[in-house]
Structure 1
């Protein structure tokens, strides 16, 4: 049995949305790997110390997986990868950070120390794969984020109603305020419209979004963090999924919405055009373009044929993200 050490932010017990470490890790365990995890400390300094200690503790593992982000957590990847090099451990950065492309340009030497010496670099986003290739990194392959499709029952909807669903952590980069601004316009046109926003607080954006809704006298349902089964059940009450982010790669919440039969209207930023095709499996708008998102929502409501075609195509695309398909690519790397 191969033993893996998975390094990342395992923080769901602190009320944070589960990240890849808590999704991919258990899937690999199902395939017969022994997986040790690090780290779950809420304090960043303690989390880094735990990560480094576990590299030392498990210095005989077969492979180290490192969730790699672009902001403060980038330095976790740097520190742990260099310790892996010291122990001659095979390590695989999994590239998540929305701003990693800027890291490649702004911190080229540090990035080379991480990514040039890795056993392999995994890019869940084709966008990031292209960015890394453009900077001369050849040891990058694309393996998409995986979902267990059987957990996402497709609900065939005949028509679109003005019931909007938003699922993400409340952080400025995901622009939750735009969802409220879109809802304000939709509500004036369709008084029966609803908006539900699902996700935990991250940087103070939840409070400011709630305040915005209050100022506009809008009734928005804020659920806080929900478990996967809870929000999947909730999704049956909604028809249109809005993704308002300023920057993104391959958001799992969008993949999940596609699987469930929701029509996706998203900002066309970062890796989104590598995931979604405008007018085929989603409708795309420019960053922070409230008016265009409103018109795209109206388009879905006015055109049942377009709505049904988009949701059908989205589900077909989502099937390519099923773990039963994606796992073969992981097995080829890890075995």
Structure 2
């Protein structure tokens, strides 16, 4: 069997923190180990710039940097320079397949970089939500821009396989595809058991999460704080229930400009003594925060296939999540989590109290979550993607 050459490209990578970046790093690390036995594959990785270089070194995967962060990000000169460097890498590696992690800019760059090549590679794209979803009420989605929407539709028609991490993205994919046969669903995965986890393997990390010792439960939420994450409703619900939750605390790991509005709301509600803002957490810090949490709350207006819910199951936190997007594909109501109406403060409030008062329910949600997350190991994700690579060739 011919050795298949796969080039993986992402214009966004660590140290930028987010579900996409963590998912891709876990995927590459697992792929790097798996490649030692899979002799019929050869992998390369193209990362954006110098900041990502320390996270892009592998034993069996050759890496190339675009030096994109050497310039003013977003400028036409920086983008053109990156595309030209990407073209040189593709001509040098001569991959059979290029796998990107967004229709725009990633697949768009690959399309431009391969124009005029005699044997251009097949194109596989994974959409993580931002490039497909349109939610104007929350100013969310690249396709809200008319010009970018047209570009996404143009590029998507030239994709050989379009991977969606959840069935929920299907309706948005239908808006840009004329051929649904090119769409395949592969859920996100996380490292389980002995699978490589760069966060767990980090050494010398000082734990500075700032968690306050308490006798009650910890309700945790990891979020950017943007309007689509809906932290206002979570804070409102916690404020209404504070007198019934004993010494419990709400732990908000959010950062960025939007976090200031949430702080103001907490102050206005008079619950600063029960809410901890711990900022962005990563590596050993993130694992410590998850392990210390009793309940994980995610009441967003939309989610694709959130790895944070999988991590919550892994680290034995009961889940409260909104019944939107791909969440019901991960969480079955009353089985491994409680699904709530994210627009209804009372729905969230009732769930907060139920998991506090009903110890049996809380333990059941945790145990069932542990069982459910076994279906989302990263090695399974790797095997599904390699089947896709082989199918397009």
State the partner residue of 2:184.
Answer: 141
Q: 1:298-325 CA distances to partner (integer Å, 9 max, x unpaired)?
A: 1122222222222222121111110122
What is the aligned length? 322
| Residue segments in structure 1 that go unaligned for 5+ positions in a row | 154-159
1:76 Cα deviation from its structure 2 partner: 4.5
Higher mean displacement: 42-51 or 123-132 = 42-51
State the partner residue of 2:98.
Answer: 64
State the partner residue of 2:83.
Answer: 52
Residues 220 and 295, structure 2, Cα contact 8 Å, conserved in 1: yes
Higher mean displacement: 144-153 or 264-273 = 144-153
> Which of residues 79, 91, 94 in structure 1 aligns to 2:123?
91
Give the TM-score taking structure 2 as reference length. 0.72
SS in 2 for 1:295: helix
1:161 Cα deviation from its structure 2 partner: 5.1
The 1:169–1:303 alpha-carbon spacing in structure 2 relative to 1, beyond 3 Å, is same
Residues 225 and 258, structure 2, Cα contact 8 Å, conserved in 1: yes
- C-alpha distance in 2 between matches for 1:225 and 1:50: 32
Q: Decide which structure has the larger Cα Rg and report it.
A: 2
Q: Equivalent residues in 2 for 1:284-303 (5 A)?
A: 284-303=339-358
Q: 1:193-220 CA distances to partner (integer Å, 9 max, x unpaired)?
A: 101112432xx21111122222223232
- C-alpha distance in 2 between matches for 1:39 and 1:51: 8
2:265 is the counterpart of 1:212: yes
The 1:261–1:58 alpha-carbon spacing in structure 2 relative to 1, beyond 3 Å, is same
SS in 1 for 2:278: strand
> Which of residues 9, 12, 18 in structure 1 aligns to 2:12?
9
1:133 Cα deviation from its structure 2 partner: 5.4
- C-alpha distance in 1 between matches for 2:28 and 2:298: 26
Q: 1:142-181 CA distances to partner (integer Å, 9 max, x unpaired)?
A: 111111112699xxxxxx9542000122322212223322
Q: Equivalent residues in 2 for 1:33-182 (5 A)?
A: 33-40=42-49, 41=69, 43-45=73-75, 48-49=79-80, 51-59=82-90, 60-68=94-102, 74-84=104-114, 86-87=116-117, 88-98=120-130, 100-102=132-134, 103=143, 110-129=151-170, 131-132=172-173, 136=178, 137-150=180-193, 162-182=217-237
Instruction: Tell me how large the CA RMSD over aligned residues is.
Output: 3.0
2:319 is the counterpart of 1:264: yes
| Residue segments in structure 2 that go unaligned for 5+ positions in a row | 36-41, 50-68, 135-142, 201-214
- C-alpha distance in 1 between matches for 2:80 and 2:278: 34
1:27 Cα deviation from its structure 2 partner: 2.7
The 1:112–1:210 alpha-carbon spacing in structure 2 relative to 1, beyond 3 Å, is closer
1:141 Cα deviation from its structure 2 partner: 1.1
Give the TM-score taking structure 1 as reference length. 0.84
> Which of residues 203, 209, 221 in structure 1 aligns to 2:276?
221
Q: Equivalent residues in 2 for 1:313-324 (5 A)?
A: 313-324=368-379
- C-alpha distance in 2 between matches for 1:50 and 1:21: 24
Residues 15 and 200, structure 1, Cα contact 8 Å, conserved in 2: no
Higher mean displacement: 259-268 or 52-61 = 52-61
- C-alpha distance in 1 between matches for 2:24 and 2:11: 6
